[in-house]
A and B are shown apart, each in its own frame.
Chain A
Amino acid sequence: MDILGLLIPVSLFLGAVGLGAFWWMLKKGQFDDPDGDAHRILRDDYDDQPKS
């Protein structure tokens, strides 16, 4: 059971990484146009003006 002392912090850390990633995506506006992004990836023409 000693391994718990390691596993619990590790799982919490990984979860926190996910939370941080979500926060970053939210800040970058990646949820502003979900429909458009879903379609854009399938277009033939190269998107040379990706949203910064």
Chain B
Amino acid sequence: MTATFEHVRPSACPACNAAPAAEHMAELPKDARLMLSLPGIHCAGCISGVEKVLAAVPGVKEARVNLTLRRASVQAGPEVSAEALCTALERAGYEAHELDPGVLATTTADRQGRDLLMRLAVAFFAMMNVMLLSVAVWSGAEGVTRDMMHWISAAIAIPAVIFSGRPFYVSAWSALRAQRLNMDVPITLAIVLAVGTSLYETIHSGHHAYFDAAIALCTFLLAGRYLDHRTRASARSAAQELAALEVPRALRLSAAGEETVSVAELRVGDIVRVKPGGRIPVDGRVTAGQSEIDRSLMTGESLPAFAGAGSVVSAGEVNLTGPLTVEVTAAGQDTALHRIADLVAVAEAGRGNYTSLADQAAKLYAPGVHILSAVAAVGWWLYTQDLRIALNIAAAVLIITCPCALGLAVPAVTTAASGRLFRKGLLIKDGTALERLAEADTVVFDKTGTLTNGAPTPMALDHLREDAARVALALAQGSSHPLAESLAKALATRGLRPAHVTGLNEVPGYGVEGTWQGQAVRLGRAAWLGAEAPEDTATFLQIGDTAPLAITFADTLREGATDVVAALQAQGKRVILISGDTTAAVTRFAQTVGITEVIAEALPHEKAALVADLTAEGAKVLMVGDGLNDTAALAAAHVSISPASALDAARTASDMVLMGRSLAPIADAIRTSVSARKRIRENFTIATVYNVLAVPLAVAGLCSPLIAALAMSTSSITVSLNALRLK
């Protein structure tokens, strides 16, 4: 008793009571849910590997991989950052990117998908039962038995049709209100007419009831609708994923100190700080600091440019060496970045009038079906003067011609094709992109960042003496400039050890200096060391007072670049290389990858103009690019692809995105798209053949419910199987 009493005894001092409570509050998990994109995972080993790596990171409570979406969701304490998780995964050999979970929140699209699936399940359940009951009628049930079967079928089919067919009714109604005809109008009419006449026949103990046909129609069409939704939803989530990859923030300096704000909140006159390695968020003028900036995404130039007080910088450029303080001269809508986005909008308007194969088919189909069934009904009514027979015939014609196979023909193929391409690391953002890709006959490549990795590697290190190389290594290790980092890496892999250099000091915007064996040693820009600036990207090493030694750099080829170019040329496509880089660099590069047509020093609007010119000449252009300077061209092209490393705007403007580092999927994608288009055409042919065979029967009044059921099922199944043959 005493023990219990002691346990609950209130303390004399209230703070002592409050403290444990506060402690408890602090311990309460304020967990963050982090989302990572894992484009490279594909097997059970990957699931285990990734989950183990993530669980080993301190602070992670739960990690769960979703292999279908290639994502991992991580429950972790607030101290865990997504970056740390990405580095841990990358060290273990898995490519990982941070995703913004807010953008990816399970959205209405998700709910819509479940809703469709539920309707499909109900329709399928009803179809199976009604079909079974119909078997009795088909095999010759008479009189009361037949009526009973019809009544039970009606009891199952009518609620099922009302529930599961809702998407069609809604869409048909909105089309009719806008005084248009779409695919859903004949579908709805067929369902309503079939159920209506069947109910009438059942009440009057008629011979034929089309309940099975009405519900089968719903099932097959919902299956097509669901596949279509899945493709669209995965495309949409891909787009969201891409939007989530980049979270635009800026460091604003105010009287209160530094604060992180969204780029949208910046105003003209604000001062922002850009850390080395960060992307410049706005257009502006440098007020303090010295650094080098990488303009390759904006202009395609591979050579970093100097930036000091007074230099003008624009949004999208990357700050390399020293911190910069930038005064905002234009933010949001007025930045160069946004002006390019306007170019994109103009270019996209031109592409908007592409009609897909399915739309072309629907345009011919919807009016044709109505006219046919109306003519048949009127003809029979004039011939027999019996409205009941005429309506039965109209219903039969509508059911037989209803686009079960047509509704499945395109979704089944695009689902199969986009699934195949997704496994190869290509995301398709637009439903008609595959069809457009199949038509492409000219391929325009951007250079920096697309065919190359956008990261330079040192060339011809052999002519450096060993001690010079060791000094260079020591100096290069003292800087985070990309050239220095790449030089340090290349020298270290040659088995060199850094020389003993003291007093290492990085001069932002110029280079690194230090002392080695009593001599001043410097590694940096040509101008800083008094050397002549070469055409290529280069850094210079000076030991003491000797003449500076040049170390030249070249961009490395992206994985699969040469193979893709060769494969495209083998497929008979015209391949063009276009870049904002200097002529010398571009021509030399073109020779290594094997491209003969080259356009160098192109400005963004010139790229778009080239694409427009090619289009005017009748070419269907596939544009592959990653930079801001490519966005307008990407949007203007017939179809476009960008790598995952591309700038946000470029990925938004393109139809497909390469998730991995390799370019190889492009050639595969073209092959797949060509065969997908072939399958879609075949499917239309199959569907038409079935209609041509069955419509005369329906018009002649010979179409029994059995024939309707057979025609509908076999055509849908053939079409789906044909889609699965896709290679």
**Interface size for chain B: under 10, 10 to 19, 20 to 34, or 35 or more residues?**
20 to 34
Question: In the bound complex, do residue B69 and residue A12 qualify as a contact, i.e. CB atoms below 8 Å apart?
Answer: no
Residues 3-36 (chain A) with a chain B CB within 8 angstroms: 4, 8, 11-12, 15-16, 18-19, 22-23, 26, 31-36
Question: In the bound complex, do residue A40 and residue B64 qualify as a contact, i.e. CB atoms below 8 Å apart?
Answer: no
Question: In the bound complex, do residue B68 and residue A11 qualify as a contact, i.e. CB atoms below 8 Å apart?
Answer: no
Contact A43/B68 with A15-B125, A18-B125, A23-B121 known, Cβ cut-off 8 Å: no
Contact A39/B67 with A11-B132, A15-B125 known, Cβ cut-off 8 Å: yes
Please give, as numbers and ranges, the residues of chain B lying within 8 Å of A26 by CB-CB distance. Answer: 114, 117-118, 121
Question: In the bound complex, do residue B118 and residue A12 qualify as a contact, i.e. CB atoms below 8 Å apart?
Answer: no
CA distance A31 to B133 in the complex (A): 31
Residues 48-66 (chain B) with a chain A CB within 8 angstroms: 48, 62, 64-66
Contact A1/B129 with A19-B122, A33-B66, A33-B68 known, Cβ cut-off 8 Å: no
A contact patch SS:
helix
Please give, as numbers and ranges, the residues of chain A lying within 8 Å of B121 by CB-CB distance. Answer: 19, 22-23, 26
CA distance A12 to B159 in the complex (A): 14
Please give, as numbers and ranges, the residues of chain A lying within 8 Å of B69 by CB-CB distance. Answer: 33
Does B145 count as interface, using CB distance less than 8 angstroms? yes
CA distance A50 to B66 in the complex (A): 12
CA distance A12 to B152 in the complex (A): 10
Q: Distance in Å from the Cβ of B211 to the closest Cβ of chain A?
A: 14
- Name the residue on A nearest B51 (C-beta): A49
Contact pick for A51, options B43, B64, B68, B125, CB 8 Å: B64
Question: In the bound complex, do residue A36 and residue B67 qualify as a contact, i.e. CB atoms below 8 Å apart?
Answer: yes
CA distance A21 to B133 in the complex (A): 23
Please give, as numbers and ranges, the residues of chain A lying within 8 Å of B118 by CB-CB distance. Answer: 23, 26
Please give, as numbers and ranges, the residues of chain B lying within 8 Å of A43 by CB-CB distance. Answer: 44, 47-48
Contact pick for A34, options B68, B152, B156, CB 8 Å: B68
Please give, as numbers and ranges, the residues of chain A lying within 8 Å of B156 by CB-CB distance. Answer: 12
Q: Distance in Å from the Cβ of A20 to the closest Cβ of chain B?
A: 10
Please give, as numbers and ranges, the residues of chain A lying within 8 Å of B43 by CB-CB distance. Answer: 39
Q: Distance in Å from the Cβ of B141 to the closest Cβ of chain A?
A: 10
Residues 580-597 (chain B) with a chain A CB within 8 angstroms: none
Question: In the bound complex, do residue B117 and residue A11 qualify as a contact, i.e. CB atoms below 8 Å apart?
Answer: no
Contact pick for B129, options A12, A39, A44, CB 8 Å: A12
Please give, as numbers and ranges, the residues of chain B lying within 8 Å of A15 by CB-CB distance. Answer: 125, 128-129
CA distance A13 to B504 in the complex (A): 82
Contact pick for B133, options A8, A16, A19, A23, CB 8 Å: A8
Residues 11-48 (chain B) with a chain A CB within 8 angstroms: 43-44, 47-48
Please give, as numbers and ranges, the residues of chain A lying within 8 Å of B67 by CB-CB distance. Answer: 33, 35-36, 39
Pick from A32, A33, A51 the residue with the most CB of B within 10 Å: A33
- Name the residue on B nearest A22 (C-beta): B121
CA distance A36 to B388 in the complex (A): 55
Question: In the bound complex, do residue B125 and residue A32 qualify as a contact, i.e. CB atoms below 8 Å apart?
Answer: no
Please give, as numbers and ranges, the residues of chain B lying within 8 Å of A33 by CB-CB distance. Answer: 66-69
CA distance A12 to B602 in the complex (A): 70
Please give, as numbers and ranges, the residues of chain B lying within 8 Å of A22 by CB-CB distance. Answer: 121
Please give, as numbers and ranges, the residues of chain A lying within 8 Å of B148 by CB-CB distance. Answer: 4
Contact A49/B64 with A15-B125, A22-B121 known, Cβ cut-off 8 Å: yes
Please give, as numbers and ranges, the residues of chain B lying within 8 Å of A42 by CB-CB distance. Answer: 44
CA distance A43 to B48 in the complex (A): 8
Question: In the bound complex, do residue A36 and residue B125 qualify as a contact, i.e. CB atoms below 8 Å apart?
Answer: no
Q: What string of 1s and 0s marks CB contacts (under 8 Å) between B145-180 and chain A?
A: 100100010001000000000000000000000000
- Name the residue on A nearest B41 (C-beta): A36
- Name the residue on B nearest A50 (C-beta): B64
Question: In the bound complex, do residue B48 and residue A45 qualify as a contact, i.e. CB atoms below 8 Å apart?
Answer: yes
Please give, as numbers and ranges, the residues of chain B lying within 8 Å of A23 by CB-CB distance. Answer: 118, 121
Q: Distance in Å from the Cβ of A34 to the closest Cβ of chain B?
A: 6
Question: In the bound complex, do residue B125 and residue A16 qualify as a contact, i.e. CB atoms below 8 Å apart?
Answer: yes
Q: Distance in Å from the Cβ of B416 to the closest Cβ of chain A?
A: 15
Q: Distance in Å from the Cβ of B484 to the closest Cβ of chain A?
A: 42
CA distance A42 to B65 in the complex (A): 15
CA distance A32 to B64 in the complex (A): 12
CA distance A14 to B118 in the complex (A): 18
Besides the contacts A16-B125, A36-B47, what 13 more A-B pairs have beta carbons closer than 8 Å? A12-B129, A19-B125, A23-B118, A33-B67, A33-B68, A34-B68, A36-B66, A36-B67, A40-B47, A42-B44, A43-B47, A45-B48, A51-B64
11 A-B pairs with CB atoms under 8 Å apart are A11-B129, A15-B125, A19-B121, A23-B118, A26-B117, A33-B68, A33-B69, A36-B47, A39-B43, A43-B48, A51-B64
Listed from nearest, the 6 A-B pairs whose CB atoms lie closest are A36-B67, A39-B44, A35-B67, A33-B66, A35-B68, A19-B125
Residues of chain B at the chain A interface (Cβ within 8 Å) = 43-44, 47-48, 62, 64-69, 114, 117-118, 121-122, 125, 128-129, 132-133, 145, 148, 152, 156
